[in-house]
Amino acid sequence: MIPYKYIFKKSIAFLVVLYGAITLNFLLPRLLPGNPAEIVYLAIIKEGGGSINPIYVHQLESEYGISNAPMYLQYFQYLNDLLHGNLGVSIAFFPEPVSSILAGALPWTLYLVISSIAISFFIGNRLGRYAGINRNTFKDLFVDLFSMFMASFPAFVLAFIMLDIFSVNSGIFPLGGAYSSNVNIGFNLPFIISAAYYSFLPILTIILTSIGGWVLGMRNNIIPNVNSDFITFSQNLGLRKEQINRIAYRNAILPNLTGFSMSIGLSVSGVIIEESIFSYPGVGLYMITAIGSLDYPLLQGIFLMVIISVLVGNLIVDILYGFFDPRIKQEGE
Amino acid sequence: MNRSLFKNSTVNGISFKFNKIIKPLKILLTNNKAKVGFIILTGMMVFGVLGQFLAPYNPNRYEFVRSMPPSYSHLLGTTVYGQDVFSQLFYGAAPTLLVGFSVGIIGTFISIFVGISAGFASERVNNIVTGIINIFLIIPGVLLIMLFGSYFLGIHQSLGYLPTILILVITGWAFGARTFRSITLSIAKRDFILSSMLIGESRLSIIFRQIIRAIFPVIISNFFFTAMYGTMGLTFVEYLGVGNLLQVNWGTMLYWAINNEAYLTGLWWWILPPSFMISILMFSFILLNFGMDEIGNPSLRRFNSKKNKKGDLNEHTEN
């Protein structure tokens, strides 16, 4: 029953893309104009107002993992560091290594991404099904217009409006942070409630901005299905309307599932932006700081970790898809 | 037989070319969604072209009374720097539209090229190109924009319009390529392609004469999607502060408004107009995108429910 061949194929593709992303992460700062190392020196010289001691330069180089060694040696060094979880030292949060910053920030981002994408996918598909089945009616038009309007609103503007209405003016929701300061971090009820309360507004905003695509996609998928022969056949068999709708829905959701794995990358982009607005302590907040202070080690670390998370998410969805789509299931047997 | 038919249709000359422009427009206007989107977009374009002449003040003048609410002399008030919001809105329209359209056109060309060649090539090439498309789909665009932008900031440069367009094309072409690839795959299996191949028509000719014609509505629909991505992307680039913030467009207007906390200090006339304009522009792109989908795929269209209750594929009536 398990489509081994399909899973194997997807895993190989995953490894290839992962290797590509890791190499891209190595190459990007070295190919682009302006050496990050020089930028760091220049910044220090500018602040210090004078020349820089060569000994200090050498110290900096070893501290930030910058070297003048040949490319291939740097590359092996980089891979070796990665394997040991060494992503360099952050410039903006100086003594702290990038890996420990990421360990603190990434769980929050993953929590936001997974919960918002799951809820948005579920509600969006239901709404799309509702619109598709009731098409040509006022309900369809209303749902359509709503999703188009939501999809056309810039995500960060909506975030600011939400923040203004619900946090600044009315104080219903907190202005930032991920949990209240008077709960203990851990698996206990007050902490979970507090985390859910603090994340409500960001998640709601992400859902509102991403739901439109699901609704419209589902609607356009289900309409050809509702019109197709097998539905007429089931009608003739005398199945109830809900049963027929369920059949059409199951068939229509497959393209949206493929879209699901593709949309993880887009959702992560959205979440990064929202986090910086809601001061939510995920990678997005650190990323904005990193850009402002030109913290390349941190930026690269975030880039790498986010890409790895997205790739793993993709792999999981792809493998699940293999179980959902009977065609692939049969192919693998 | 077939060949002579082709020759006849291309010899027609000027009248045929004129028809080529008018006919798609007529088809576009048969669909309600596309019609509304087209009207809004045309309005926006007029706004963009005439904006520079109609704007009452120079958008870069910092000399007015600061943070003034809307009044007769300043229809949308002034910013905290003493700029006229109304003039900025007018001047900002053209660059915003241009970036969106450029990303749409360049991105669509790349995705047509990659998508169709992948769909029409051997299976091995297809697999490799599909892999590449998937990589570009997976990488979050905002991350790449941030990374590139910060490197540019590092060498004391900001992303002008050209690098911005380039980055948005790099991160935005893959969506269309994926669509074109799967559509080309399904069309390439159909009988009329097979018969053209048997007649001896070259692959290039099949691609240009048959496949591109068959998927033309999808191409247009994809153009609007990519243009939407481009416009949205521009606002993201500007919002993140990696673009050239001295340029006047709707993205930079939002950047300055947000960074001066216009939403907290009650300067709604600064933050709402650019948001509103971007939303309306996005809305028109989405309408055109889905309208073109409906034109290409008639089963999605609205039908006259009195004539046809079950909505059969064959008997639908155009609205």
Under the banding of pLDDT at 50, 70 and 90, the label for residue B8 is very low
Q: pLDDT at residue A58 above 70?
A: no
- Is B248 domain-assigned? yes
Residue B275's closest CA among B69, B89, B68, B136? B89
Determine the Cα angle at A282 with ends A29 and A204, to 5°: 125
| A191-218 average pLDDT score | 87
- Is B170 domain-assigned? yes
Cα distance between residue A230 and residue A250, in whole Å: 13
Q: pLDDT at residue B318 above 80?
A: no
ipTM value, please give it.
Answer: 0.78
| A67-87 average pLDDT score | 79
Q: How far is CA A198 from the centre of its chain?
A: 19
> What's the confidence (pLDDT) of residue A255?
79
> What's the confidence (pLDDT) of residue B262?
72
Between the ranges A25-34, A231-240, A316-325, where is the mean pLDDT highest? A231-240
> What's the confidence (pLDDT) of residue B108?
94
Residue A21's closest CA among B217, B138, B28? B138
Cα distance between residue A219 and residue A125, in whole Å: 8
- Is B213 domain-assigned? yes
* Best residue of A143, A148, A279 to probe chain B, by most B CBs closer than 10 Å: A148
How many domains does one find in chain B? 1
Q: Which of A52-56, A228-232, A274-278 has the lowest mean pLDDT?
A: A52-56
Torsion angle of alpha carbons B191, B196, B197, B199, nearest 10°? 120
Between the ranges A218-232, B45-59, B214-228, where is the mean pLDDT highest? B214-228
Q: pLDDT at residue B307 above 80?
A: no
* Best residue of B136, B264, B300, B316 to probe chain A, by most A CBs closer than 10 Å: B300
> What's the confidence (pLDDT) of residue B1?
40
Q: CA-nearest residue of chain A to B231?
A: A154
- Is B97 domain-assigned? yes
Q: pLDDT at residue A319 above 80?
A: yes
Joined together, the tokens standing for residue B36 give 């509304």
- Is B6 domain-assigned? no
Residues of chain B found within 8 Å of residue A152, distances taken between Cβ atoms: 279-283, 285-286
Q: pLDDT at residue B94 above 80?
A: yes
Average pLDDT across chain A, whole number: 80
Cα distance between residue B258 and residue A161, in whole Å: 11
For A287, the closest of B146, B275, B280 (CB atoms) is B146
| Domain housing B142 | 31-312
| A201-222 average pLDDT score | 88
Cα distance between residue B219 and residue A144, in whole Å: 22
Q: pLDDT at residue A191 above 90?
A: no
Under the banding of pLDDT at 50, 70 and 90, the label for residue B4 is very low
> What's the confidence (pLDDT) of residue B7?
43
> What's the confidence (pLDDT) of residue B102?
94
> What's the confidence (pLDDT) of residue B51?
80
Model pLDDT for residues B229-283, shown as the tens digit of each residue: 899 888 888 888 787 878 888 888 888 888 887 777 777 788 888 888 888 999 8
Model pLDDT for residues B128-178, shown as the tens digit of each residue: 888 888 878 877 777 788 777 877 777 767 778 888 898 899 888 988 898
Q: Do B285 and A152 touch (CB under 8 A)?
A: yes
Under the banding of pLDDT at 50, 70 and 90, the label for residue B103 is very high
Q: pLDDT at residue B306 above 50?
A: no
CA distance B141 to chain A (A): 7
In chain A, % of residues over pLDDT 90: 3
Model pLDDT for residues B45-89, shown as the tens digit of each residue: 998 888 878 777 777 777 776 767 777 777 777 777 777 888 888
Q: Do A149 and B155 touch (CB under 8 A)?
A: no
Q: Do B140 and A220 touch (CB under 8 A)?
A: no
- Is B9 domain-assigned? no
> What's the confidence (pLDDT) of residue A57?
65
CA distance B97 to chain A (A): 15
Ramachandran class of B127: left when φ > 0, alpha when ψ lies in -120 to 50, beta otherwise? alpha
Distances (CA, A) of A288 to A96, A275, B180: 17, 10, 36
CB contact at 8 A, A90 and A96: yes
| A58 against A241, higher pLDDT | A241
Residues of chain A found within 8 Å of residue B146, distances taken between Cβ atoms: 272, 287, 291, 299
* Best residue of B150, B155, B225, B316 to probe chain A, by most A CBs closer than 10 Å: B150
- Is B130 domain-assigned? yes
CATH number of the domain enclosing B56: 1.10.3720.10
Q: Do B147 and A265 touch (CB under 8 A)?
A: no
Q: pLDDT at residue A145 above 70?
A: yes
| B204-232 average pLDDT score | 87
Strand partners, B84: B78
For B138, the closest of A227, A265, A292 (CB atoms) is A265
Q: pLDDT at residue B308 above 50?
A: no
> What's the confidence (pLDDT) of residue B319?
36
Q: Chains A, B: CB contacts under 8 A, how many?
A: 151
Model pLDDT for residues A228-263, shown as the tens digit of each residue: 888 888 888 888 888 888 888 888 888 788 778 777
CA distance A113 to chain B (A): 13
> What's the confidence (pLDDT) of residue A290?
82
For A152, the closest of B138, B239, B279 (CB atoms) is B279
CB contact at 8 A, B283 and A153: no
Cα distance between residue A181 and residue A175, in whole Å: 13
> What's the confidence (pLDDT) of residue B313?
43
Q: pLDDT at residue A60 above 80?
A: no
Q: CA-nearest residue of chain B to A313?
A: B138
- Is B20 domain-assigned? no
For A224, the closest of B278, B285, B299 (CB atoms) is B299
The string of DSSP letters for B214-231 reads HTHHHHHHHHHHHHHHHH
**Taking the model in full, what pTM does it have?**
0.81
Model pLDDT for residues B11-35, shown as the tens digit of each residue: 444 445 566 667 767 777 777 888 8
Under the banding of pLDDT at 50, 70 and 90, the label for residue B302 is low
For A269, the closest of B143, B235, B293 (CB atoms) is B143
> What's the confidence (pLDDT) of residue B3?
45
> What's the confidence (pLDDT) of residue A36?
56
Residue B243 main-chain phi, psi, to 5 deg: -85, 180
CA distance A30 to chain B (A): 10
